[in-house]
Structures are given as structure tokens and as C-alpha cells.
Amino acid sequence: MESLCLVVPKMRAEPIRRKLMEKGILRKELQIRSDKKNVYFPISQRIDLGLPIETADFKESEEQVTDYRVLVDIPDELRPLLPSSYDTLGTIAVVKMADEVAPFAKQIGQAIIATQKSIKTVCQDAGVIDQFRTRNVKVVAGEKTTETLHREYGMVFKIDVAKAFFSPRLATERDIVANQVKPGEVVVDMFSGVGPFAIMIAKTRQPKVVYAIDVNPDAISLMKENLALNKVASVTPILGDARAEIAGLEKADRIIMNLPHQASDFISDAIRALKPSGVVHYYEILEDSKLGERLDMIANLARGESRVMKELARRKVKSYSPTMNFYGLDLQFV
Ligand SMILES: C[S@@+](CC[C@H](N)C(=O)[O-])C[C@H]1O[C@@H](n2cnc3c(N)ncnc32)[C@H](O)[C@@H]1O
């Protein structure tokens, strides 16, 4: 459909879009267009902003610009360095930024909020900082909070992206593991965070109990809230070190070990805590060429505990670098 439109150089697109919204003259029922140089905003009346006004054809659609990169107010030479993806946790987007574009974090955040209806806060992620695997995050746009409610597979998780680890990218993996649990099993989640594996298992598989250990007090207190939110009773949260805590628990049918940089340090403790033929879901970030070596090491440790390791399944859960993957290994110890 034909409409008047304001022709705006890409670098100025986001502040102008906000101005048009404030004045109520941006035609939201039409789709914003862009080409290499300009963004074309369909408008309901003329406005003097020192910018050209033309008449052009626009698609009538509920579809909006969804790629935030179209709207970011940033020098053109830096556009290729804009992050192409980010994690979405509830109403929060967590974005890693290259050093060159980090000074434009606020503009990146504003453009994400403008293009994604569900996002209310954007945090810049400067990496994992401590033993708790928490992230060094800073709110750069939107509501000043690091707390949100994240929904996955019909469950809801209270998360604080600054205080405890949570990865939405593991949702499918949690489903794969939960589907293997049989009714009545004793399950231990050695590094449970805010409880996503434990709660999914408890909610969907009727285990006898899931012991969910974490050393981070904030993770345990969020987990307790998540148990209540999801009306789950068969999870026992335990604050403490996994090695010390697992030694005092009843023997397990299944143990989850999601501590990808250090899990190998804890594998003997896990094997000792397993019933005969119990299964460990083991996660590690590995060079592809080192996977065989790691499996041999675990098999040797098992022999030291008079057990035999059988590899039931292996999954490349996510890619970490061109030669490294986050591996998920289902290992049985007979
Ligand atoms: C990668 S996160 C995994 C969290 C959870 N499994 C998930 O999928 O969201 C690892 C967790 O292990 C916890 N952790 C680190 N060292 C630990 C230890 N020695 N004993 C118990 N928990 C530990 C951290 O606090 C963190 O919450």
C-alpha cells in the first residue's frame, strides 16, 4: 500500500523512530523498509526533521522489523561486528558484544527492545566470572532489573542473570535427559543451578526423589522459589559442595553432571554414588580430537572403582568453537 515515508540514514534510524513514535505519526500497520543506506518509515503526516519525504509502497502486515541491526544507531563500518544472536531469558536479552561495538551497548539494547516485543531489559554479558558460573552482566537498556521469569516446556523458572547460571540453550537437552528417567528413580543433579533439570524430571517423570546440589546460595534460594512456582515436591535442594554432599546421599539410579569445565574432577565421586548399572549424564566442553581420550580416562577411573563403563549415547549439544563442542555423554556404569 502507498504511504508517505521519511527517508532516514541507517545511522540515525533509531532516534528518529522513537521521535516518530512519540509524535504518534509512525504507521504501525505498515512494515518499515530498509535498503543498504536508508530506513523508510511510513508516516501518517509530513514532519520537518530536515529529512527527505517520499511516497513509496509498503507491505501491510503485522510483521515488524525483527532484526535489531536494521535500527541500531551505530557507524556503518561497525555494523558487520554487531552480534548476530543473543540469549533470551524471559523478558531479558543477554548479549555478548565485540570490544569495537561495546561503546554502543545502549544503542544496541534500545534497538533490541524496539524490535522484540517480549524484551524489556537488555544486559551486556562480559563473560563468566566465578565458581558459580555467574555472568558479569550490566543492564544497558530498558528496565533496571536482572530478574525475570523464563518459561520452557510448560514450566516457569525465576532467574537472576547476575546471581545464578541459567542457559536457555539447554532446554532440549533437559528434555532428552528427563525422558530417560523411569518412575521411582533416585536422581542426583550434582550442579543444579536454579533447578531446571531437577524440576523438569520431578514434574514429568515421577522419580522417588531428585537431590539437587549447588554451592551457590543464590541458586539454591531461586531453586526453592522455582519448586513452589512449579508445584514440585520431590526435589530436595542441598546447598554445598557436590563432592562432599553426594557421599552422604542414598545411592542413585542417575546422576547429572553439568559443570562443563570441571566435571572430570568429580567423575569418580559420581561413580561411587551410583547403583549398579546407574547412568551418568556427563557434560564437558572438549576439543573434538580429545573426546576419545576423555572416554578412555573415565573408563579407567571406572575400572579403579571395579565398574565397567558403557557409552549409551553421545550428543554435540552446542558448538563452542570450530574445533570444540559442548558434549553430552550418557554413560552407564555396570
Ligand atoms: C553450568 S552451571 C549448571 C546449572 C544447571 N545444571 C543448569 O543447567 O542450569 C554449574 C553450576 O554448578 C555450581 N557449582 C560449581 N562448583 C560446584 C561444586 N563444587 N559443588 C556444587 N555445585 C557447584 C555452580 O554454582 C553452577 O550453578
What CATH fold (topology level) applies to the domain 2-57?
Answer: Alpha-Beta Plaits (3.30.70)
The residue whose C-alpha atom lies closest to atom 19 belonging to ligand 1 is: 241
Architecture of the domain spanning 68-145: 2-Layer Sandwich (3.30)
Domain regions of the chain by residue span: 2-57, 68-145, 166-333
State the average pLDDT over residues 13-24.
85
Give the pLDDT confidence score for residue 315 in this predicted structure. Answer: 95
Other CB atoms within a 10 A radius of the CB of residue 293 amount to: 11
Cβ-contact 176, 196 below 8 angstroms: no
| 2-57 and 68-145 agree in CATH topology | no
Q: Which residue has the higher pLDDT, 71 or 9?
A: 9
What is the pLDDT confidence band of residue 138, given thresholds at 50, 70 and 90?
Answer: very high
Q: Is 161 in the pocket of ligand 1 (CB under 6 A)?
A: no
Q: What is the pLDDT of residues 93-130, one digit of tens each?
A: 999 999 999 999 999 999 999 888 899 999 999 887 77
Bridging pattern class, strands 309-321 and 324-333: antiparallel
In this predicted structure, the answer to whether residue 63 has a pLDDT above a threshold of 80 is no
Q: Is 223 in the pocket of ligand 1 (CB under 6 A)?
A: no
Choose the residue to mutate in 199, 215, 238 for probing ligand 1, maximizing ligand atoms within 8 Å of C-beta: 215
In this predicted structure, the answer to whether residue 164 has a pLDDT above a threshold of 70 is yes
User: What is the CA(288)–ligand 1 centre distance, in A?
Assistant: 24
User: What is the CA(289)–ligand 1 centre distance, in A?
Assistant: 26
User: What is the CA(184)–ligand 1 centre distance, in A?
Assistant: 25
Q: Does domain 166-333 have CATH number 1.10.510.10?
A: no
SS3 67: coil
Choose the residue to mutate in 152, 155, 191 for probing ligand 1, maximizing ligand atoms within 8 Å of C-beta: 191
Q: What is the pLDDT of residues 240-297, one digit of tens each?
A: 999 999 999 999 999 999 999 899 999 999 999 999 999 999 999 999 999 999 999 9
Distance of alpha carbon 28 from alpha carbon 7, whole angstroms: 16
Q: Is 242 in the pocket of ligand 1 (CB under 6 A)?
A: yes
Distance of alpha carbon 200 from alpha carbon 185, whole angstroms: 14
State the average pLDDT over residues 230-246.
97
In this predicted structure, the answer to whether residue 61 has a pLDDT above a threshold of 80 is no
Instruction: Find the farthest-apart pair of alpha carbons in the chain and give their distance in angstroms, rounded.
Output: 81
The identity of residue 118, as a single letter, is S
Whole-structure pTM value: 0.80
Cβ-contact 127, 135 below 8 angstroms: yes
What is the pLDDT confidence band of residue 11, given thresholds at 50, 70 and 90?
Answer: confident
